[in-house]
Amino acid sequence: MPQKRPTTYHVVKPGDPHPQGWKVPPVNDLRSAVELLKTIPGQYIETDREVDPDAELAGVYRYIGAGGTVMRPTRIGPAMTFNNVKGYPGFRVLVGLMASRERVAHLLGASTREIGIHMAEARRNVTPPVVVEAENAPCQEVIYRAEDEGFDLRKILPAPTNTPEDAGPFFCLGLVLGSDPDDRDNVDVTIHRLCVQGKDELSIFFAPGRHIDTFRKKAEAAGKPLAISINMGLDPAIHIGAEFEAPTTPFGFDELCVAGGLRGKPVELVECLTVPQWAIARAEVVIEGEILPNVRVQEDQHTKTGKAMPEFPGYNGDANPSLPLIKVKAITTRKNPILQTLVGPGEEHVSLAGIPTEASIHIECQDALPGLVQNVYAHSSGGGKFLAVLQVKKRNDSDDGMTKQAALIALAVYRELKNVILVDEDVDLFDTNDVLWAMQTRFSGDLDTIFVPGVTGHVLDPSQTPLYDPRVTAKGTTTKTIYDATVPYHLKDHFVRAQFMEVDPSLWAPSLFDKGDE
């Protein structure tokens, strides 16, 4: 399948050794990911106790391991499979697969502190997907066609609700695969919120600028539906790779190539049964359908709650009054399938959105300012999107200005980023207390703050509205801020942290120190 991509990136062909020499974990689908986690203490649990997918399941996991911006109390904990889902015998629901940076590191074969750099290298060394025959596609082991008598996706798939206020049941980790109506090989994959609206209908919400929405608009202008597949229960490399955005993955780039780069082998696709589109061959569940032209529905038309679902900033988003409608043509699954979901504001969103954010910023800063930016962390408090901490190592006086330039590059490369904190190499960017320490001792508000007003941000931030800020004319517009908590180069000798003796503490307290990779 031909893929359009910048020529500056290396394409890894099937059978080639992994260009980075990575020890790739034995994961090629959701089931192998779960099997890997079972071998790592504290990373996975199951329960046979019955759970209601309507608000109860998310309510349970909020306490077990959701983390992120979920209302406290919460924590980062293990991924969890519910084996007994009320009303859906034979179906399992998995939540929280990626709700831990440590867990994602295991699943991708990376260090917890360098996952973003790992992702950046995967973006530089891509592997395009391949198409396999149906007999090699476990996603089509069980088939439900919409034309069959009694077809009702509400009875087939246990779509959860996160809270009692949700507009309806949602598929929260549905990877939508679509193509340019005039060029099927121009493929895009993104995750969108999908609300169940009827026995064969789903609404879909597009944040501004999504490439599949561009395809939809093009098809709609021609009066045609857009064929898509919705893929659920996947190798986590596919989900995370799909979260890259322009300009790191420009229009015409298939993000499945990044998952291939992570694994050193191609993602396998299969021809859908009822629409002219591909599906992820090793998915647990695939919904085949079409986005209908010139049809819109109210997101909460059945519940009238006025709310959509809990979004990543931690608030219940407003129900959208007019969303495109998907007409479902078929559902295919593996035998004894696993439906994968997430808690909207949880740490899983941080992993999904934040790690590609880190990688995007790292790629561009390394290309523009080699050696300055040491690492990037897309902080949990911003859902992996709003706040980035950049760790820099200044080498001369000119790097005082270059450090601020790095922050501007970060804002340019990821448009949804709202705030950037700059810290020195002696500050642990993953330790919020250490970052705040730098802000208290290496930052003066009127001297070290840069404001960039009136810039596009994210429509789901409730502070980015004319109601909150009368100066902005459109929702999703904000003032972006750079906080420079670094020491001026000429003063570095005056800001040396107290130096302690280097020892091996495990000799005195062996039970407290894990010798594993951090």
- Residue 199 CB neighbour total at 10 angstroms: 14
Our answer to whether residue 135 is catalytic in this structure is no
Residue 226 is assigned to a structural domain of this protein: yes
Range list of H helices, 125-169:
153-156
d(CA 177, CA 165): 29
Residue 2 is assigned to a structural domain of this protein: no
d(CA 18, CA 376): 24
d(CA 119, CA 128): 16
Range list of H helices, 19-152:
30-38, 56-64, 101-108, 115-124
d(CA 30, CA 237): 10
The two tokens of residue 405 are 């330039």
Instruction: Give the CATH number of the domain where residue 438 resides.
Output: 3.40.1670.10
Q: Are residue 259 and residue 383 in the same domain, yes or no?
A: no
Q: Which of 243, 255, 311, 347 is catalytic?
A: 311
Instruction: Give the CATH number of the domain where residue 280 resides.
Output: 2.30.110.10
Contact 92, 338 (CB under 8 A): yes
Q: Are residue 334 and residue 384 in the same domain, yes or no?
A: no
d(CA 236, CA 37): 12
Q: What one-character DSSP code corresponds to residue 124?
A: H
Pairing of strands 387-392, 130-131: unpaired
pLDDT tens for each residue of the chain, 518 residues long: 433 333 345 665 555 556 566 788 999 999 999 999 999 999 999 999 999 999 999 999 999 999 999 999 999 999 999 999 999 998 999 999 999 999 999 999 999 999 999 999 999 989 999 999 999 999 999 999 999 999 999 999 999 999 999 999 999 999 999 999 999 999 999 999 999 999 999 999 998 778 899 999 999 999 999 999 999 999 999 999 999 888 888 888 899 999 999 999 999 999 999 999 999 999 999 999 999 999 999 999 999 999 999 999 999 989 999 999 999 999 999 999 999 999 989 999 999 999 999 999 999 999 999 999 999 999 999 999 999 999 999 999 999 999 999 999 999 999 999 999 999 999 999 999 999 999 999 999 999 999 999 999 999 999 999 999 999 999 999 999 999 999 999 999 999 999 999 999 999 999 898 655 45
Q: What one-character DSSP code corresponds to residue 510?
A: G
Domain with 461, as residue range(s), is 369-492
Backbone angles phi, psi at 263, to 5 degrees: -90, -15
Range list of H helices, 125-228:
153-156, 211-221
Q: Are residue 258 and residue 403 in the same domain, yes or no?
A: no
Which amino acid, residue 145?
Answer: R
Q: Are residue 316 and residue 411 in the same domain, yes or no?
A: no
* Domains held by the chain: number: 2
Place of tokens 């980015």: 464
The two tokens of residue 266 are 């191609």
Residue 518 is assigned to a structural domain of this protein: no
